[in-house]
Structure 1
């Protein structure tokens, strides 16, 4: 299913193609899922959404670099292709919106929240940093570059983003 999604995009994802890859009849697919959105969410529930490992280097800068590097790797891999194909459909489909909030975004938010909370405990950032919109800037910039501009994502971008944008915003009193 994810293979078909990454190759064909959400618009090109058909129950016929999924049935063929799964080696079953289309009726078998429809008995369990009434739409491709429900099928996709069912698959995500089983295989899980990509989860970011939460680093604990003891320093906010290194933790941020590690988390954002994982985001870059994810966006550049098969999961990233699948996510890209879903984004247009998510806007108009409440089932997909809920699925994205529940799985990939919740997983990523949890990793980010943990990194920032540890930094608050160590006194590296103010207590309100975790509730600030500044915490959303790093992943948002990477997603914009990846999705809209097509500019490269690499270690240089991650380090510049952390040093020049994310850290200064999180460390503001």
Structure 2
């Protein structure tokens, strides 16, 4: 996917020592771990500071509230698939993206996203962060993949955001968010061979 829109989280200056950018990665990793473990409701600024091994002032120099903290972190997720692989064929590209998606949802980032879904019902800012962050990255990567396949003459035009495109990831998302069954390489292989490959074959340009 192409790089997603970046949300600019609210920041406030609280004086004292300037913000140290080198701590950002450590803090974000701590946020993801905690979200996966305790969910949005159980997350506290104190817990983030303790998990990251920093002072509370370091957290508050970056985010005023827990919502700011989570929104900012969500908007940065899924960067591993921001630039989709180019293997030279649509089948190869889709197979690689499926592996990257599964690696992401099986990581602390995937656990964090799952944990905030209940909170999205009453936190519009979280919904927006998910829409313009992980979901936008995901959609943009697939759009770029279908566009390249169309340019190579492998598929007919207009597949981006089609039912065919949605179906290539639907079973992965179902396992991740609904059934909780394992998402491993064997399952990805099975989905690719029994669902994705036939869909791609059916999407070939009409000869005539």
TM tier, shorter chain? 0.7 to 0.9
Superposed CA deviations along residues 7-39 of structure 1, whole A, max 9, x for unmatched, are: 2221211122123335323x7756764532221
Give the Cα separation in 2 of the matches to 1:29 and 1:38.
11
Superposed CA deviations along residues 83-121 of structure 1, whole A, max 9, x for unmatched, are: 111122123311001000111111111111111111111
The structure that is helix-richer by fraction is 1
Matches within 5 A, 1:102-141: 102-141=132-171
Indicate which of 182, 186, 189 corresponds to 1:159.
189
1:149: Cα distance to partner?
1.1
Alignment pair present for 1:91 and 2:121: yes
What is the Cα-based RMSD across aligned positions, in Å? 2.3
Q: 1:58 to 1:29 in 2, by over 3 A?
A: closer
The number of residues matched between the two structures is: 170
Give the Cα separation in 1 of the matches to 2:40 and 2:97.
27
Q: Is the 8 A contact 1:61 1:167 kept in 2?
A: yes
SS in 1 for 2:158: helix
SS in 2 for 1:128: coil
Q: Is the 8 A contact 1:135 1:166 kept in 2?
A: no
Give the Cα separation in 2 of the matches to 1:35 and 1:144.
32
The aligned residue for residue 49 of structure 1 is 77
Matches within 5 A, 1:53-92: 53-92=83-122
TM-score, normalised on structure 2?
A: 0.71
* Stretches of 4+ aligned residues off by more than 6 angstroms: none
Give the Cα separation in 2 of the matches to 1:57 and 1:34.
43
Indicate which of 51, 55, 59 corresponds to 1:24.
55
